[in-house]
Amino acid sequence: MNSQEYLKSKINNLVIKYPSIKCSYAFDGFDNTHTIEITPSSFFTIMMNFHTR
């Protein structure tokens, strides 16, 4: 499994576990970067606050 397949699998698991969120993923081969967008942003903020406590 390469990094793209791994990330897509994890994103899919997130969407199944939290159906109220939307996720998008893109890979830019020129820059060799992965971009993941999770909306609404409040979900990400709430989860980050939960994990830092």
DSSP string, 1-45: --HHHHHHHHHHHHHHH-TT-EEEEEEETTTTEEEEEEESHHHHH
**Integer Cα distance of 51 and 48 in angstroms:** 5
**Per-domain boundaries in the chain:** 1-8+23-53
Q: Is the peptide bond before 40 cis (omega within 30 degrees of 0)?
A: yes
- Predicted pLDDT at 13: 92
The pLDDT score that the predictor gives to residue 9 is: 93
pTM value > 0.85: no
Tokens of 53: 């406590």
Q: pLDDT for 16-48, tens place per residue?
A: 988 888 888 999 999 999 999 888 767 666 666
State residue 20's pLDDT score: 82
Q: Which residue has the higher pLDDT, 8 or 46?
A: 8
